[in-house]
């Protein structure tokens, strides 16, 4: 279920940055499960060198907050959460300094 909502590189970034809020957005994953996944897999990702794959987006707490807010807004509007996460992540890669309002507008055009 996690890999249907997040790409493998996004999952590595989420785990390496300990972003349990984003992991919790996956259907069927609660806070405790998200924290457990992070604790169990963080060392394995760090030793494999995969933490740098997508960590530039998740390293900045503002980007993570903007990502979470934009995905929540799009989900409230009725869009699928997995599709919303992918579109918002792509927009934040292109424009990392974009405010949440602009990210939502661009995502609405792409969805």
Question: Which architecture, in CATH terms, is 1-59?
Answer: Orthogonal Bundle (1.10)
Q: Which CATH code is given to the segment(s) 60-111?
A: 1.10.8.10
Q: Could you give the CA distance from residue 62 to residue 5 in angstroms, rounded to a whole number? A: 21
Percentage above 70 pLDDT, the chain: 85
Specify the pLDDT at position 51: 45
Q: What are the pLDDT digits (tens) for 18-27?
A: 888 888 888 8
Q: What are the pLDDT digits (tens) for 65-79?
A: 888 889 889 989 998
Q: Where in the chain is the domain with CATH 1.10.150?
A: 1-59
In the numeric block, the tokens 């924290």 are attached to 35
Q: What number of other Cβ atoms are within 10 A of residue 61's Cβ?
A: 10
With a threshold of 0.85, does the pTM exceed it? no
Q: Where in the chain is the domain with CATH 1.10.8.10?
A: 60-111
């Amino acid at each position: 279920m996690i890999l249907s909502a997040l790409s493998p590189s996004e999952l590595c970034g989420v785990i390496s940055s300990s972003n349990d809020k984003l992991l919790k957005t996956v259907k069927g994953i609660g806070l405790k499960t998200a924290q457990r996944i992070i604790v169990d897999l963080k060392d394995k990702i760090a030793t494999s060198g995969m933490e740098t794959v997508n960590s530039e987006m998740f390293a900045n707490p503002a980007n993570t907050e903007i990502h979470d807010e934009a995905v929540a807004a799009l989900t409230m509007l009725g869009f699928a959460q997995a599709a919303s996460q992918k579109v918002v992540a792509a927009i934040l890669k292109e424009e990392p300094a974009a405010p949440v309002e602009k990210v939502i507008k661009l995502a609405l055009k792409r969805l």
